[in-house]
Amino acid sequence: MIFLTALPLFWIMISASRGGHWGAWMPSSISAFEGTCVSIPCRFDFPDELRPAVVHGVWYFNSPYPKNYPPVVFKSRTQVVHESFQGRSRLLGDLGLRNCTLLLSSLSPELGGKYYFRGDLGGYNQYTFSEHSVLDIINTPNIVLPPEVVAGTEVEVSCMVPDNCPELRPELSWLGHEGLGEPAVLGRLREDEGTWVQVSLLHFVPTREANGHRLGCQASFPNTTLQFEGYASLDVKYPPLIVEMNSSVEAIEGSHVSLLCGADSNPPPLLTWMRDGVVLREAVAESLFLELDEVTPQEDGVYACLAENAYGQDNRTVGLSVMYAPWKPTVNGTVVAVEGETVSISCSTQSNPDPILTIFKEKQILATVIYESELQLELPAVTPEDDGEYWCVAENQYGQRATAFNLSVEFAPVILLESHCAAARDTVQCLCVVKSNPEPSVAFELPSRNVTVNETEREFVYTERSGLVLTSILTLRGQAQAPPRVICTSHNLYGTKSLELPFQGSHRLMWAKIGPVGAVVAFAILIAIVCYITQTRRKKNVTESPSFSAGDTPPVLFSSDFRISGAPEKYESERRLGSERRLLGLRGEPPELDLSYSHSDLGKRPTKDSYTLTEELAEYAEIRVK
């Protein structure tokens, strides 16, 4: 917007045209408020040699040619005008001074248009000038905004109204400027074509909140009811500000997640969803959704929304936490250790939230942590009892996973107490039970015969391994004489162990050989023997003791009361006896054990009053080896 206070160009041209040419100068356009007046400045010239006595002039409306019969606005000769201009037009200038300025009053919209001036010097010296002025009848002030209004940068807004009515002067005021600034009225200014305007300025620093604000200007004319208002909306440019976004989001694995980002800016921003620098989605919009279908733990993380336009940018982030069950635990650490060493085992997993980690062995909790992803198990000075299968279990509210692992403890051989020898008739069987890791070699030594039999001699030795326990059975036949000394020797890379195997009564070997069916038969024989001896003793007691009463209850004998003389109590357990039966029964044809006695054998036994029933049963049930 340029305001010129110097003389307008058209007046300069008039001053320079005194050369005697036909010509006219007037503003190409002029405006005025409806109901007010307007003064159209005009000057004309003609050749000097004409020297007319009287100069007349005519103003036409919308056409310069009389033959077209245009409406006459003003005519100096006759004062006859078109009805639209009666009482509304008069000449302000002096035609003799070549001033043709026209005043129009009580303006109405139909008076808007082109106005032409025709000079009349008498006779044929008449000339219609092609120059004309366009009158614009307005009813709103003109608010002029800068080409660009940027938030934070001071701007100047002007209100301009025409001031070309000498009878009415406008007064300006601002509407809706509260909070923006105080206006400053510059007053009446001359335009470059000789017209006048009234100007008021408003300076302020706009904010983003001022965008779209409706700013008004009012022109009023004192002592009249005329009042005109004009409005303009502020188009404030400002950088984006993200105003809408999800807070931290938690989602279960496999569910659907929708992330929203909304920004306020002018012009609209370019919204971009990113993760780890990778663009996931972008669009020019005020809001943008990021849709994630069937989320996985790999999509857990921080998502960023970037909003930008030509005036700046903004960004915000949102965390997505994908909740899922623990992964299968991973076990790292020692799986093979030597007895006495310290073992460290680490169990780790991944889940959200962090799990409860527990290490079990045979349903016994060895270590546990809560809400941690790693568990450390320390076993100082491991023993063979630490050998075995362990479980690492990870669980949270979304599921449970487990991993099994084995700890192998290596140690020198240990010969267990159940190792022994037993004889039956002409057969000797020796049982050597060894616990060790790794598997040992086992050999049987007969010192009296200077013979060593190892496990590779399958004709004499049978070997079976169960877990850490190795059992070897040595079978010697044709041993009618006294049983030989037998030494069991076991060896692995951690050491050697030897033990002279003790001999146990032949009765135990017998029960192991005969098995369940034989045991039933033997028990039946024992019952028969008991009945026979009971009857014999009853007859004897009746003969020797007349005080014997037939109603006395005979003593009752249970199988648990039967004991073989010299056998240790601990070898009577059912578990070990069953094991020996199973292992000894693996040989081909075990020696037959004779449990039958003839009546002649019973008759040859000495009869002693000091014998008890238990001693008789033991003696009759004893297996004769020698």
pLDDT category at 321 given cuts 50, 70, 90 is: very high
- What is the arithmetic mean of pLDDT over 617-626? 35
* Peptide bond preceding 162 in cis form (omega within 30 of 0): no
The reported pLDDT for the residue numbered 128 is 86
The reported pLDDT for the residue numbered 505 is 65
User: Under a CB-based contact definition with an 8 Å cutoff, are residues 479 and 427 in contact?
Assistant: yes
Lowest mean pLDDT among 76-90, 185-199, 229-243, 340-354: 185-199
Name the nearest CA neighbour of 625 among 368, 429, 384, 387: 429
172: Cα within 13 Å, side-chain hemisphere: 26
Kindly tell me if the per-residue pLDDT of 520 is higher than 50.
yes
Q: What is the DSSP pairing of strand 399-415 with strand 451-454?
A: unpaired
- Cα-Cα-Cα-Cα torsion 443, 448, 449, 453, nearest 10 degrees, comes to -10
Lowest mean pLDDT among 117-121, 479-483, 488-492: 479-483
- Cα-Cα-Cα-Cα torsion 303, 307, 308, 309, nearest 10 degrees, comes to 160
254: Cα within 13 Å, side-chain hemisphere: 3
Average pLDDT of every residue of the chain: 80
Lowest mean pLDDT among 4-8, 121-125, 286-290, 353-357: 4-8
H helix count then E strand count, the chain? 5, 43
pLDDT category at 337 given cuts 50, 70, 90 is: very high
Name the nearest CA neighbour of 30 among 90, 130, 119, 102: 102
94 exposure class (CB count in 10 Å sphere: 0-12, 13-18, 19+):
exposed
Kindly tell me if the per-residue pLDDT of 575 is higher than 70.
no
Q: What is the DSSP pairing of strand 312-323 with strand 330-333?
A: unpaired
- For each of the domains in the chain, give its residue range(s) and CATH number, in order of start: 23-137 (2.60.40.10), 140-234 (2.60.40.10), 240-322 (2.60.40.10), 330-408 (2.60.40.10), 412-504 (2.60.40.10)
Work out the percent of the chain whose per-residue pLDDT is above 70. 78
- What is the arithmetic mean of pLDDT over 448-452? 87
- What is the arithmetic mean of pLDDT over 270-288? 95
- Enumerate the β-bridge partners of residue 273: 281, 305
Kindly tell me if the per-residue pLDDT of 482 is higher than 80.
no
Work out the percent of the chain whose per-residue pLDDT is above 90. 61
pLDDT category at 103 given cuts 50, 70, 90 is: very high
* Three-state SS annotation for 199-211: EEEEEECCCHHHC
Sorted by sequence, the CB contacts under 8 Å of residue 55 that are 6+ apart come out as 95, 96, 98, 119, 120, 121
pLDDT category at 480 given cuts 50, 70, 90 is: low
The reported pLDDT for the residue numbered 563 is 34
How far does CA 495 lie from the centroid of its chain?
Answer: 57
The reported pLDDT for the residue numbered 552 is 34
Lowest mean pLDDT among 89-103, 165-179, 541-555: 541-555
The reported pLDDT for the residue numbered 537 is 61
The reported pLDDT for the residue numbered 18 is 44
Q: What tokens appear for 155 in the block?
A: 């701007």
Kindly tell me if the per-residue pLDDT of 8 is higher than 70.
no
Dihedral sign from CA coordinates of 610, 613, 614, 618: positive
Kindly tell me if the per-residue pLDDT of 382 is higher than 50.
yes
Helices marked H in 16-137: none
The reported pLDDT for the residue numbered 316 is 95
The reported pLDDT for the residue numbered 599 is 32
SS3 577: helix
- Cα-Cα-Cα-Cα torsion 13, 15, 18, 23, nearest 10 degrees, comes to 40
Question: Can you give the length of the chain in residues?
Answer: 626
The DSSP secondary-structure symbol of 50 reads: G
Lowest mean pLDDT among 109-113, 341-345, 389-393, 545-549: 545-549
